C-alpha cells in the first residue's frame, strides 16, 4: 500500500522534481540524481521520479542503479511503461538481451504506438537470435578467426589512391604522419592498409603477456593517458601539446579508445600504427569498451561498418581480445583500466598469466572483468557497483594490493573526472581521464601524466591538464538504440 502523503509534501516533492529536471536538461546528471532522490524521499509513490532518476543514472553509465530504479518504478505502478523502458535500456547496456526484450515487450503492449520501443524490441530479438546461432556454430565446428582467413593480396590499391602506402608490410613514420593528416581532414586510408595495421597489431599483442612490464630508460619519458573515447581531435591535441610518440617518448593509453565519440576508428588505427612503428613507444591497455557488448551499444561497431565493413569490425573484435589487461611501470606502478579484484589474494603473476586470448570477451564476472570494470570508493572494504558490473574497492583494498605486490600505487581510468584526474586512497590510487568535455556535454578537463626516471627515486609524476578543442560536428553512430541513453 502506498504511503499517505499530504498535499503540501506532494507539492514540495514535485517542485524538487522540477529542479531535478532542470539539472538534467543542463546535463548536470549527478545534481539531477541528488534532487530526484530528495523528491523520492518526500514522496515515494510517484513512478516517474524513479524512471527519471534511472535515466540520469544511464547517462552516467550507472546501469545497475538504473535497473534498480526501473524495478522500483514498476513496483509503484505496474502499468507505467516508462519504468519498464528504463529498466530495459539498463539491461541492454549490460548485454542482458533476453531480459531487456521482456521489458520492451511489455512497453509495446502498454504503449502500442511507441515506435522507439518497437525498434528496441526488434534489436534485442535479433541480437538474441544471432547469439544463439553463433553458439550453435561454435558447438558444432571449429570457427576460424576472420583474421586468419583474410587474404590481403586480394585487396588491390587503386592507382588513384593519393596517400602514402605501406610497402612490404613496413609501417613508416611518413605513413603514420600522412595518415593522421588524412584523418584530421576527415579522409580515410585505403582498406588494404587499415586491414594490414590491425592484423599486424593483433599478431604483436598475441605474443605479449596479460601484464606487460614497462621500463623507462634514462633520458626517456612515458606519458599515461586515460579514456579518449573516439574524440580524435582532442586525442591529436595531446600530441600537439606533449609531443608525438617516438623512440625516447613512449605513451601508454589506458583503455576505452573507442565508442561514444564519432572518430573511434581514426584513434585506434593511429594507436595501432604507432605500436607497430615504435614497439616500445606505445602501450595499450584493454578497457571495458574494447568489447563486443559495449561496441554494439555505443557506436564503434556501427562506425566501422559505415566507414569500412562488417569484416573489418570482426577483425577489430578479434584484435581487442588480444590487448594486454594491465601494465607495470618501473616495477612500482600498476596501470589498469578499471581497478582491483573482489579477492584479496590477487598477485601480479596471476594477472600476468590470465588467458585473455582464450577467453576473448571478459563477460560480467571474474578477475578479467573486474580489472576492466571496477571503481574506487572512499570508504573501506568493497561494495556493489552502480554500473551493474564489477565492484567498488576502498583504500584498504588498494593498500593491501600494493603491499602484497611490493608496488607504490595504481593508475586507472574508466571514470570522467572534472579536473581530468583525481588522487585518492592516500595517494595510492590515481584516476586519469583524457577526453575533455566528454561527449560534448560534461565540461570536464582532460589530463595525462608524464613519468620520468628520477635520481632520488624510481620515478617522478607530472600531471598535465588540457581543454577540449573544436571538432567537426557529426551524428553519433548506433543512434537507433542510443535514443534511450
Catalytic residues: 289
Cα angle, residue 355 at apex, residues 269 and 199 outer, rounded to 5°:
25
d(CA 202, CA 197): 9
List the one residue out of 54, 67, 51, 56 whose CA is nearest residue 388. Answer: 67
Which string of DSSP letters, residue by residue, matches 351-405?
HHT--HHHH-S-TTSSHHHHHHH-EE-SSSSEEE-TTSSSEEE-HHHHHHHHHHT
Report the SS3 class of residue 159: coil
pLDDT at 142 (0 to 100): 62
Cell numbers describing residue 340: 582491483
Helix (H) or strand (E) holding 284: strand 282-284
Asked whether the beta carbons of 436 and 467 are under 8 A apart, the reply is: yes
**Per-residue 3-state assignment (H helix, E strand, C coil) for 195-244:** HHHHHHHHHHHHCCCCEEEECCCCCCEEEEECECCCCHHHHHHHHHHHCC
Structural domains of the chain in order of their starting residue, each with its CATH number: 7-137 (1.25.40.10), 153-482 (3.60.21.10)
The count of residues in the chain is: 485
Contacts of 104-109 with CB under 8 Å at 24 or more apart are: 106/81, 107/81
Cell numbers describing residue 39: 523528491
Residue 433 per-residue DSSP state: B
pLDDT by residue, tens only, the chain of 485 residues: 467 899 999 999 999 999 999 999 988 899 999 999 999 999 999 999 999 999 999 988 899 999 999 999 999 999 999 999 999 999 998 889 999 999 999 999 999 999 999 999 998 999 899 888 877 876 665 668 999 999 998 999 999 999 999 999 999 999 999 999 999 999 999 999 999 999 999 999 999 999 999 999 999 999 999 999 999 999 999 999 999 999 999 999 999 999 999 999 999 999 999 999 999 999 999 999 999 989 988 899 999 999 999 999 999 999 999 999 999 999 999 999 999 999 999 999 999 999 999 999 998 889 999 999 999 999 999 999 999 999 999 999 999 999 999 999 999 999 999 999 999 999 999 999 999 999 998 899 999 999 999 876 679 999 999 999 999 999 888 655 555 66
Q: Name the percent of the chain in helix, strand, coil, to the closest 5.
A: 50, 15, 40
Asked whether the beta carbons of 155 and 191 are under 8 A apart, the reply is: yes
pLDDT at 4 (0 to 100): 87
Contacts of 59-62 with CB under 8 Å at 24 or more apart are: 59/27, 59/29, 59/485, 60/29, 60/30, 60/33, 60/386, 61/93, 61/387, 62/386, 62/387, 62/388
Cell numbers describing residue 371: 580489472
Report CA-CA distances (Å) from 229 to 11, 30, 73, 234, 442.
Answer: 42, 21, 32, 10, 14
Amino acid at each position: 500500500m502506498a504511503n499517505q502523503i499530504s498535499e503540501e509534501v506532494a507539492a514540495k516533492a514535485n517542485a524538487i522534481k522540477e529542479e531535478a529536471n532542470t539539472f538534467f536538461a543542463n546535463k548536470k546528471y549527478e545534481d539531477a540524481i541528488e534532487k530526484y532522490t530528495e523528491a523520492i524521499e518526500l514522496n515515494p509513490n510517484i513512478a516517474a521520479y524513479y524512471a527519471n532518476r534511472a535515466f540520469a543514472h544511464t547517462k552516467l553509465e550507472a546501469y545497475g542503479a538504473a535497473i534498480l530504479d526501473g524495478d522500483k518504478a514498476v513496483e509503484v505502478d505496474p502499468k507505467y511503461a516508462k519504468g519498464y523502458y528504463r529498466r530495459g535500456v539498463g539491461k541492454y547496456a549490460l548485454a542482458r538481451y533476453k531480459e531487456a526484450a521482456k521489458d520492451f515487450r511489455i512497453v509495446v503492449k502498454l504503449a502500442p504506438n511507441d515506435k522507439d520501443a518497437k525498434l528496441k524490441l526488434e534489436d534485442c530479438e535479433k541480437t538474441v537470435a544471432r547469439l544463439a546461432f553463433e553458439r550453435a556454430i561454435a558447438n558444432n565446428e571449429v570457427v576460424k578467426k576472420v583474421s586468419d582467413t583474410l587474404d590481403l593480396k586480394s585487396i588491390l590499391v587503386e592507382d588513384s589512391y593519393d596517400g602514402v602506402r605501406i610497402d612490404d608490410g613496413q609501417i613508416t613514420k611518413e605513413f603514420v604522419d600522412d595518415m593522421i593528416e588524412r584523418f584530421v581532414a576527415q579522409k580515410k586510408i585505403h582498406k588494404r592498409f587499415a586491414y594490414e595495421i590491425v592484423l599486424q597489431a593483433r599478431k604483436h599483442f598475441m605474443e605479449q603477456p596479460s601484464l606487460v612490464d614497462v621500463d623507462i630508460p634514462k633520458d626517456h619519458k612515458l606519458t599515461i593517458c586515460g579514456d579518449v573515447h573516439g574524440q580524435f581531435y582532442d586525442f591529436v591535441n595531446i600530441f600537439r601539446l606533449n609531443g608525438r610518440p617516438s623512440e625516447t617518448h613512449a605513451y601508454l593509453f589506458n583503455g576505452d579508445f573507442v565508442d561514444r565519440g564519432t572518430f573511434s576508428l581514426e584513434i585506434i588505427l593511429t594507436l595501432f600504427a604507432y605500436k607497430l612503428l615504435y614497439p616500445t613507444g606505445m602501450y595499450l591497455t584493454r578497457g571495458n569498451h574494447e568489447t563486443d557488448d559495449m561496441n554494439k551499444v555505443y557506436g564503434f561497431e556501427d562506425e566501422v561498418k559505415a566507414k569500412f565493413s562488417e569484416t573489418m569490425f570482426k577483425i577489430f573484435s578479434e584484435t581487442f581480445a588480444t590487448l594486454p589487461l594491465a601494465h607495470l611501470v618501473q616495477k612500482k606502478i600498476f596501470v589498469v583500466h578499471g581497478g582491483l579484484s573482489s579477492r584479496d589474494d590477487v598477485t601480479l603473476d596471476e594477472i600476468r598469466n590470465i588467458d585473455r586470448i582464450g577467453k576473448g570477451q571478459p563477460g560480467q564476472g571474474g578477475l578479467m572483468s573486474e580489472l576492466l570494470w571496477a571503481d574506487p570508493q572512499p570508504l573501506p572494504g568493497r561494495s556493489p557497483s552502480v554500473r551493474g558490473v564489477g565492484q567498488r574497492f576502498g583504500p584498504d583494498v588498494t593498500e593491501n594490493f600494493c603491499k602484497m605486490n611490493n608496488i607504490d600505487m595504481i593508475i586507472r581510468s574508466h571514470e570522467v573526472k572534472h579536473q581530468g584526474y583525481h588522487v585518492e586512497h592516500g595517494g595510492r590510487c590515481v584516476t586519469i581521464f583524457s577526453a575533455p568535455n566528454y561527449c560534448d556535454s560534461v565540461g570536464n578537463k582532460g589530463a595525462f601524466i608524464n613519468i620520468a626516471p628520477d635520481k632520488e627515486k624510481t620515478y617522478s609524476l607530472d600531471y598535465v591538464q588540457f581543454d577540449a578543442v573544436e571538432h567537426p560536428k557529426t551524428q553519433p553512430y548506433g543512434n537507433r538504440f542510443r535514443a534511450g541513453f
